[in-house]
Structure 1
């Protein structure tokens, strides 16, 4: 009795695939891959042919007659070539030529309208320029006055140094019980004697001032001025010191006072009224006028700096106003904006509130 042998087949395989050799199967897979790559290359070629350069689009005979979407004509004046993809012109030269023709056609009318109808902003700008010019003249006169005070102060200091020294006036200037009075220092808060309070406060201020720095990347260059900023270059921070030169405790130290140097401070009456008298005490012993030359010079220099800052602010304001006035009547503003004059008999287009 013969035995029946059952052969189980996979449902996804055909009879021919079962009989193929594994080498033949691998060869068939490679052939399919090659066909797939050929199809990809053909698709890329078709895409490149659609986006041709401008030189090829300009030749009508090279265009495909079967193309159902014809290109539009360039908007340039007198141009007969088709447009570039995504543009209204065949080249940049055609676009610039059309823009120039529009400017020549529209701009003269806009300029005539600008001249016929007054502009409120233009009138306000002229008034602001007049005000700025007056303030600039006042500031320049103030700077000249401060420069005069600067030279007068130097002359007073020179006269004071030429005075004779009187050691007998030390007792009358000190006062009776001034050695017992105490005052607190405004910098460190410690109590100190009234006689040496000014010296102590000045040294404390210099000590704390050296801990902070005021610098800039560029040195000061102001024409016609002398002795304003320290401008000492620091190689570590790579900046120039911007303290007042007479008050900079970091880069300028007070010279040693000799024994025979007079104080020379000009004396005043009723706080503000100057007299022709000077302090004849030795400078190292005078506690009432400690560092008076440095403080007077710093006061004058500070006023000069404030005047220069005011003049710089006025120059910036003038530049802004002039720039706004130039842009208001510029090419772009005249081409983009237009004022419609409904009444030809009225030249003033400003709205007036009925009284």
Structure 2
């Protein structure tokens, strides 16, 4: 029976037969030399392979004739060149030409369809713009009215200061502190009615100084006077945004002299002005403490609310106008389309049937 011998075994036997007649030391040297040659060939083959991969990464456009075979033709109008790897076009110019031809072909038809069928979103946008413009007019009217109130209040304060001081014994007598007591709304201490308003005002200012209301930019409102404090704090690098008349940190009340009159306008039935003024000394009047500051703060707060309302309305108007502009833009008309199945019906809105 014949026995099968592998080729590798025959090759190894032939190599051994070559070294049989050599000295053992020479045989070992010859085997080592052959191994070194094999290692060198293997290293060179790996270097060539790595170099080819690097060249393909650096220059993807320079490909062999074999690599150009599976590429498709460029989609550019009138172009017969093969596409770039990972693209449908051979160059950016071909892509721009095809996009321009698509726009010239599709856009006129889309514009005609947009004009023929009414857009309910456009109608809603127009109604919202009308409502916003009406509210803006109301806010402007309110702001003008509050500006008139501001000047009227300053005139009333000036007239009150021109009144002569009148000492009334019944008004200036000391109230019994042991009978009438009240608790402070800020600190909770029990205080007498005689000094209640004064104590509450100072207590509120003390707690108000602990909180900060700041902004990186000062207030710049055209035509507005005496609104925000706008005092710059170098530590926090911010501008104070409290009302100027109520800021306890940067505005202090002037000292009251002995001959200064209270000057608060007197009212009848809570709201009806009598035309008279409180003529008691300001230091002794406990019924109208800090009335000037509180009235000014009330008017200034209403002015700030009107300005804030105008700012909100302007932002809403900007959003609505931007949406209306983008609704019939080039990108929207190219990407979206309304299919009109019935050519006789112009209004495509869905109606609820009873």
| TM > 0.5 fold call | yes
Q: Secondary structure of the residue that 2:315 maps to in structure 1?
A: helix
Partners of 2:291 and 2:29 lie apart in 1 by: 109
Partners of 1:78 and 1:126 lie apart in 2 by: 46
* Match in the other structure for 1:47: 53
Contact 2:182 2:190 in 1 (8 A): yes
Partners of 1:273 and 1:141 lie apart in 2 by: 24
Give the 3 Å change call, closer, same or farther, for CA 120–306 of structure 1 in structure 2.
same
Partners of 2:143 and 2:233 lie apart in 1 by: 30
Partners of 1:100 and 1:133 lie apart in 2 by: 40
Give the 3 Å change call, closer, same or farther, for CA 27–149 of structure 1 in structure 2.
farther
| Cα deviation digits, residues 176-228 of structure 1 (max 9, x gap) | 65773111000010011101100000000000000111111111111111111
Gaps of 5+ in 2: 1-14
Aligned length, in residue pairs = 335
| Cα deviation digits, residues 58-85 of structure 1 (max 9, x gap) | xxxxx52x55834221111122221100
* Match in the other structure for 1:232: 231
* Match in the other structure for 1:113: 113
Contact 2:184 2:191 in 1 (8 A): yes
| Correspondences of 1:323-342 after superposition (within 5 Å) | 323-342=322-341
Q: Alpha-carbon deviation of 1:51?
A: 5.6
Give the 3 Å change call, closer, same or farther, for CA 48–263 of structure 1 in structure 2.
same
User: Which of 33, 38, 44 is residue 44 of structure 2 equivalent to?
Assistant: 38
Partners of 1:132 and 1:212 lie apart in 2 by: 36
| Cα deviation digits, residues 79-118 of structure 1 (max 9, x gap) | 2221100100111121111111101110110000000000
- The more displaced of 144-153 and 322-331 is 322-331
Q: Alpha-carbon deviation of 1:55?
A: 6.2
Q: Alpha-carbon deviation of 1:230?
A: 0.6
Give the 3 Å change call, closer, same or farther, for CA 38–172 of structure 1 in structure 2.
same
Q: Secondary structure of the residue that 1:345 maps to in structure 2?
A: coil
| Correspondences of 1:7-22 after superposition (within 5 Å) | 19=25
Partners of 2:336 and 2:68 lie apart in 1 by: 42
* Match in the other structure for 1:298: 297
Contact 2:174 2:194 in 1 (8 A): no
TM-score, normalised to structure 1's length?
0.87
Q: Secondary structure of the residue that 2:168 maps to in structure 1?
A: helix
Contact 1:170 1:281 in 2 (8 A): no
Give the 3 Å change call, closer, same or farther, for CA 30–280 of structure 1 in structure 2.
farther
Partners of 1:23 and 1:180 lie apart in 2 by: 124
Contact 1:179 1:195 in 2 (8 A): no
Contact 1:179 1:194 in 2 (8 A): no
| Correspondences of 1:91-240 after superposition (within 5 Å) | 91-166=91-166, 168-172=167-171, 180-240=179-239
Partners of 1:189 and 1:342 lie apart in 2 by: 75
Give the 3 Å change call, closer, same or farther, for CA 269–86 of structure 1 in structure 2.
same
Task: Provide the aligned C-alpha RMSD in A.
Answer: 2.5
Contact 2:165 2:259 in 1 (8 A): yes
* Match in the other structure for 2:266: 267
Give the 3 Å change call, closer, same or farther, for CA 148–35 of structure 1 in structure 2.
same
Q: Secondary structure of the residue that 1:309 maps to in structure 2?
A: helix
Gaps of 5+ in 1: 1-13, 58-62
Contact 1:186 1:201 in 2 (8 A): yes
Partners of 2:94 and 2:80 lie apart in 1 by: 11
Give the 3 Å change call, closer, same or farther, for CA 35–274 of structure 1 in structure 2.
same
Contact 1:125 1:321 in 2 (8 A): yes
Contact 2:175 2:194 in 1 (8 A): no
Partners of 2:30 and 2:215 lie apart in 1 by: 83
